[in-house]
Structure 1
């Protein structure tokens, strides 16, 4: 099975070599880094550092999607992300992803030099997002989530979490293709921690090979998430970094191809070592 992701007309072959997506939170309320990169200059510096450490993609976001997060205005989100995207684009060839639920922010980010739209709502939250996607040739990350970031962890329930996530992916691919978006532009994100209990997350992790719907690459985003905290019974965020590295290696063995992480260097090293062993 070949895994091709088409971004701006260029085909990226992920069959043998996966991609590391480095997280750049330009927010004052990030759960994992405490808003350390809310300042534009520091955010740019951090993004370029992640690229040097091996990030293939820089995922820049100006609105927190942690459980219970409050929405931010379009103006505030644009003010946070656009200067960072402009500056980063001028200094690196790494792919740039805009992590947003707003179509207007996505369009402005693409105009500023971004390559990928990463929408936690799966292009459902803003009715104009699919039009923006159809009118461009950007890569797309379609994630599964129930509810909204504010409500998603309020007693999420599934009859069969694996079957329901797979059905959601099938539906999204079908609907988006009907709207003029080629499936080759899309990667799928099961949304670990987005409307899932620890048990749901573990079940999805075990069933990861089944989530490769229509030969679309799967993105895994578990970096520093509360599922690690729950399993380790530790409140320290720094205790979640090495377990994240372990999960990068493990999920690559299970078939994932894109890995969204905070700590790029050790995850990139683990990914390359795992791929070398896999041949």
Structure 2
């Protein structure tokens, strides 16, 4: 499992023009069983996040899961970024589950009470992640409300904004190795639903930063579907230079082993094998 530097300002830009050259030589060879065209692949590779979301919504309504898998593989190939794959693969389920949940809680009302949303989200979270011991806390829901941009009442736009962030997180937590780590609460290995600022503050001691190697795990609040890093884990840690660093965990190895049925070390063991990580930090939230 590798780590890579990450900045959380959303600087998504068009993919390199070299993609166009590679796509110009690409031809669909089996159109009878693959209805997504090379033009669709081209548009996805070069589009911004809004373009990607609109395109996936359109494709997911009619494409079969197998077609989305093939689209995901080809976009990863021609964009040179394997992280796009997961966002495409989950598109159909994200849209269908989100629509079902909104219709269930809204009952055709334009606005619904936030308290009503909490119960439904909690139920769906526990169901999809198959989490047996760890549910969402009041602080977790407060973060979700801030992501949604609502207060006492929520509209469909707010719900979709929240769901585009939450569903990739749920998808990550549904993976067996990561789910096991999520359910570990003593100690709590994945803080999860915290902001970058909260993570940085947690690494402060009474006399400055804590020891080098101290770290916390969280989900980046600025990354929502279909951003390639949506649902990823970020490790925030104190470096040997006594400054705070933020690294994106590459979970591709875990997913690959899981798909192939290969036994692997726990996420905790893999984290502590990283030379820059040695001690799990702890979030102490202020009471409201």
TM-score (norm. length: structure 2): 0.30
Question: Is the radius of gyration larger for structure 1 or structure 2?
Answer: 2
User: If each structure's strand is expressed as a fraction of its own residues, which one has the higher value?
Assistant: 1
User: If each structure's helix is expressed as a fraction of its own residues, which one has the higher value?
Assistant: 2
